[in-house]
Structure 1
Amino acid sequence: MTASAPIAPGPVPVSWEALEILRSDAGNLTNEVNGHLEETLTWYRHLSTDERASLRLIAQRGIGGLVTWLENPSSRSLPLVNELLGHAPTDLMRTISLQRALQLIRSIVEAVEQRLPGLMPLKDQQLMLEAVLRYSREVAFAIADVYARAAESRGAWDSRLEALLVDAVLRGEPAEQIASRAAAVGWRSHQGVVVVVGEAPDQADAVFMSQLRRQCVRFAADAVVGVQGDRLMLLLGGTTDLAAGLERILPRFGPGQVVFSSFEGSISQAHKSALAAFTGFTASQAWTSAPRPVAAEDLLPERALCGDETAKSVLKTVIFDVLEASGNGLLETVTAYLEAGHSLEATARELFVHTNTVRYRLRRVTDITGWDPVVPRDAYVLQTALAVGRL
């Protein structure tokens, strides 16, 4: 027994008689297909009249395309799906999902298989059945390709909208414009925004953005990803377990520092928080032992040195003004302690008080400001606040 020849990928050659039967019976075949769709697809029956008409047009053109495909036996490939079905792919995507589109094709093939072979001459019945199967396979792949390209286009457009939102928040555009851009990307959180800034990786393409966004939505109700120059910037809303979430996405950033800032209000008012994280990313280079990630609020001295007016204002109002208003020699004590090289004895001699009094006042400074003068990092924050306050 000789081995059978491999099946050619092009159209199956059928007789001209079979083609004439197919061409003349196309209208009846289309009606039978429409009836089969009504019977087998529940969601099809719930479509509007216009939507069903659009899908019937797809079936009609698909059957006509089968005739064209079979008329050229030497063809090795299927014409482009847009040429084959006209505007049907666009109508298809507007009406149904890819899963339902493939269900539609499957149902059309079932209807054609039930009717068409019986109309053909005996010698063409098997060939016509094989042709229908090949043709439907090619159409399914072509339509899936259209859906994939459309998804890529939507993804690129969504990335553009997200980049515009990130830029609007960073620039401090009017609240109405920010709210409008947030609505365009589907932002739902009304309160609570976290801004994260880090170095962008070398390959920050659409696939990377999509993967990072999927990781973020595991611990945030909303996640917007944008790239500003060499910086990767995230806007997160409705976060849960922020520390663990940031730890999971750290490998997505480049080798530099990652800075985050939290804001309790809405995204339309998050400009200062975004600016704090953005400036903090630049300023973080001055604190070589900073944790990764680091809060922008922990970078107040470095941000102040970078000219961040918000950081200067916080240092003055939260530390210097509070100490000055509290009295009891707290401002003088912490000043003397810092200038005396963190020596309790030297501070006591400078102020003509007992060392226990110095200890008590320093504890009061910690209670009032939240920064402990005995801790080197906190002492640096306090010293910067005192300088900013006096300036």
Structure 2
Amino acid sequence: MAVTNSGAGAVPAAASKLTPQDRVPQQARRANGTSETLKRLRANIGPLSTTMLRELESTLPWYRRLSADERSSLGLVAQNGISAFVSWYEHPSSPSWVLSDVFGTAPTELTRSISLQRALQLIRTVVQVVEDRVPELASATEQVALREAVLRYSREVAFAAADVYARAAENRGAWDTRLEALAVDGILRGENPDALQSRISALGWTSHNRFTIMVGPAPAEADATFLATLRRAAGRFAADAMVGIQGDRLILVLGSVADPETAYLRLSELFAPGPVVYGPLAATLADATASALAAFAGMAAAKGWTGAPRPVSAEDLWPERVMGGDDSARRALVSNIYRPLVTASNGLIETLNSYLQLGHSLEAAARDLFVHSNTVRYRLRRVCDVTGWDPLIPREAFVLQTALVVGRLATTPKQAPDRPAARG
């Protein structure tokens, strides 16, 4: 190749024919092209925004169904996205613009209006509008670089949108957890049912009857993962569920349980070792407080029954609760067992008393009452029909005997106490 001069300063002959514009360094030429592209981008922000809004209306049916305020909020987000792209294209090394410039104060409204999937559809539409206009926005030598910038921009915005929704979900989850704790505490303290109903409705609670409260020891690591697992498990057996932790106690509130026996057994496996007690079924939210108090009283008295099943009903612990000073258990024994037996007459309470006092012997009770043993057996079956407790089962006989003692102590002198059966 020919040179114009010899020596160290020699240059190719072809180089001597380059014009001054051709000899501009490549980096400078890229900068000039970028500056020209930036000018075009800035000049087209308005037309791009208009085109983008028309595209949203025509391609996204769900966008057309939004209210005017919601469309305005989302349209502002999309317009901010286009404006922010111009700034980012000029300084692509600073991605911190995404949250503040694109979404601004919209995250709360955005997450309420549309799902993450729809937000990504909106972003895709915005990016597509810019990409379709690339031939008008950049020269032929700059179009490839601009398209690559659009792709990187769309990635940044997509990640930013996911971050917005993740933070909103975390905030909503934290708020729901606090509201759930307040609702559970309100049930335990017997707050106004209307206020409680409003509070649990905010959590998505739909049940209006058949409330059940389970109480037991909380696991050592009752973190958010455990609580989520417990809620999912409860959702398999109940229409609604709330979870509360108070110190070392775990409280589970269930609504409309389909199969109580199976539900209590399976859910008790998620509690820490120790007694798990469930309260009586509450017909209304107002009755749920009494059910919760019964469950807590049962948990405190459960250690008095060494053979108690797990889980155990608070009603099965009436004797231990009475001995522990639970007045609600005393009233329950009187109203559910003693008074029905007194009202039933036909010698039921006398026969039961004799049977229990004479070592659970049918023959001994028959001799004491001067009746046939079959008569004693029949009357004891009637006791089971009237009270729901079978005196032929030792544990249930203990409940019945406690009810007789409590009932006699509750009887005033003006009331007719149970008398021994007439003999001969």
TM-score (norm 2): 0.81
| Equivalent pair of 1:98/1:144 in contact (CA under 8 Å) | yes
Deviation, structure 1 residue 141: 0.9
Give the 3-state SS of the residue equivalent to 1:189 in structure 2: coil
SS of aligned partner of 1:47: coil
- 2:145 and 2:221 map into 1 onto residues whose CA distance is 50
1:30 alignment counterpart: 49
TM-aligned CA deviation for residue 381 of structure 1: 0.6
The corresponding residue for 1:312 is 330
Paired AA for residue 181 in structure 1: R
Tell me the amino acid that sits aligned with residue 313 of structure 2. A
Structure 2 unmatched ranges of 5 or more: 1-29, 410-424
Task: Please list, as runs of the form range in 1=range in 2, the aligned pairs for 1:116-127 lying within 5 A after superposition.
Answer: 116-127=134-145
8 A Cα contact 1:89 1:146, kept in partner: yes
Deviations 1:19-42 (A, max 9, x none): 222222222222222222122111
User: What SS does structure 1 have at the residue aligned with 2:254?
Assistant: strand
Partner AA of 1:384 in structure 2: T
Larger mean Cα displacement after TM superposition, 87-96 or 162-171: 87-96
Q: Structure 2 residue aligned with 1:242, among 260, 277, 298?
A: 260
Report what 1:3 is aligned to.
none
**What is the letter of the counterpart of residue 40 of structure 2?**
I
Q: Deviations over 1:27-85 (max 9, x none)?
A: 2222222222122111112223332222221122112212222222544x443513543
> Is the 2:301–2:324 contact (alpha carbons within 8 Å) kept by the matching residues of 1?
yes
Q: 1:74 to 1:322 in 2, by over 3 A?
A: closer
Q: C-alpha distance in 2, partners of 1:387/1:371?
A: 16
Shift of the alpha carbon at 1:349? Answer: 5.0
Matched, 1:66 2:67: no
Render the CA deviation track for 1:252-285: whole Å, top value 9, x for unaligned: 2222222223435221332212211222222222
Aligned counterparts, 1:213-224, within 5 A: 213-224=231-242
Rounded to whole Å, the distance in 2 between the matches of 1:189 and 1:91 is 29
Pair 1:201-2:211 in alignment: no
Task: Give the letter for the 1:234 counterpart.
Answer: L
Measured against aligned partners, the alpha-carbon deviations of 1:162-194 in whole angstroms (never above 9, x if no partner) come to: 222211221122333333323333332232212
Find the residue that maps to 2:142 and give its secondary structure.
helix
CA distance in 1: counterparts of 2:402 and 2:381, whole angstroms: 19
SS across alignment from 2:215: strand
User: Which residue number corresponds to residue 298 of structure 1?
Assistant: 316
- Change over 3 Å in CA distance of 1:224–1:59 after alignment to 2: same
Task: Give the 3 Å change call, closer, same or farther, for CA 50–367 of structure 1 in structure 2.
Answer: closer
- Three-state SS of the structure 2 residue aligned to 1:176 is helix
Q: Does 1:330 align with 2:348?
A: yes
The answer on whether the counterparts of 1:226 and 1:233 sit within 8 Å (CA) in structure 2 is yes
Q: Where does residue 8 of structure 1 map in the other structure?
A: none
SS of residue in 2 equivalent to 1:226: strand
Distance 1:109 1:379, change over 3 A: same
Contact 2:98 2:156 in 1 (8 A): no
Structure 1 residue 302: Cα displacement:
1.9
CA–CA distance in 1 between the matches of 2:83 and 2:36?
Answer: 16
Larger RCO (CA within 8 A; separation ≥ 6): 1
Asked whether the 8 Å contact 1:287–1:302 carries over to 2, the reply is: yes
* Corresponding position of 1:54: 73
Equivalent of residue 225 in structure 1, options 243, 260, 263: 243
Matching residue within 70, 83, 90 for 2:108: 90
SS of the equivalent of 1:224 reads strand
| Residue pair 2:301, 2:320 contacting (<8 A) in 1 also | yes
CA contact (8 A) 2:82 2:126 kept: no
Q: Equivalents in 2 of 1:24, 1:132: separation in Å?
A: 17
Please give the per-residue CA displacement for 1:349-370, whole angstroms capped at 9, x wherever unaligned.
5555554444343333223322
Coordinate RMSD, CA, aligned: 2.5
Amino acid at match of 1:315: L
Pick aligned residue for 1:375 from 361, 375, 393: 393
8 Å CA contact 1:82–1:88 kept in 2: the answer is no
Amino acid of the residue matched to residue 39 of structure 2? E
Partner of 2:27: none
Question: Distance between the aligned counterparts of 2:65 and 2:338, measured in 1?
Answer: 68
1:166-181 aligned within 5 A: 166-181=184-199
Native 8 Å contact 1:69 1:78 kept in 2: no
Uncovered stretches (5+) of structure 1, i.e. residues with no partner: 1-11
Query: C-alpha deviations, 1:88-134, integer Å up to 9, x for none?
Result: 32332232221111110111111111112442122221111111111
Greater radius of gyration (CA): 2
Q: How many pairs were matched up? A: 379
Give secondary structure in 2 for the equivalent of 1:238. strand
Q: 1:131 aligned to 2:131?
A: no
Task: Describe the superposition over 1:176-223 as per-residue Cα deviations: whole angstroms up to 9, x where unpaired.
Answer: 333332333333223221222222222323333333223323332222
